[in-house]
Amino acid sequence: MKTVTIQYCYGDHRKLVSTHRTDSDEVAIERAIAKHFGKRAGFYRDNGISTATVQFGQIGHYSKSEGCSVMDTGRVSISVE
């Protein structure tokens, strides 16, 4: 059982918390993002500043009309316990 916390880094710093039955951190993150932002949403990780315990990035989806990824959020941090 993994608990995923998604926290906005700017603005109101709101937290989205969900629990998922899996042993994999990556699967838990994918499920949490799908639950809170929709099935088409994905996590675009900032590799330069992410650590083993906290990952930073943005959540967005691919837009066919624009031909690129569109970010739905500002920067977020994701931690898995």
Q: Is the pLDDT of residue 66 over 80?
A: no
pTM for the full predicted model? 0.82
pLDDT score of 7? 92
Section 30-34 average pLDDT? 92
What range defines the domain where residue 37 resides?
2-80
Closest C-alpha among 12, 13, 3, 21 to residue 77: 13
pLDDT score of 19? 92
Q: How many structural domains are present in the chain?
A: 1
pLDDT score of 11? 75
Section 23-28 average pLDDT? 90
40 near 23, Cβ under 8 Å? no
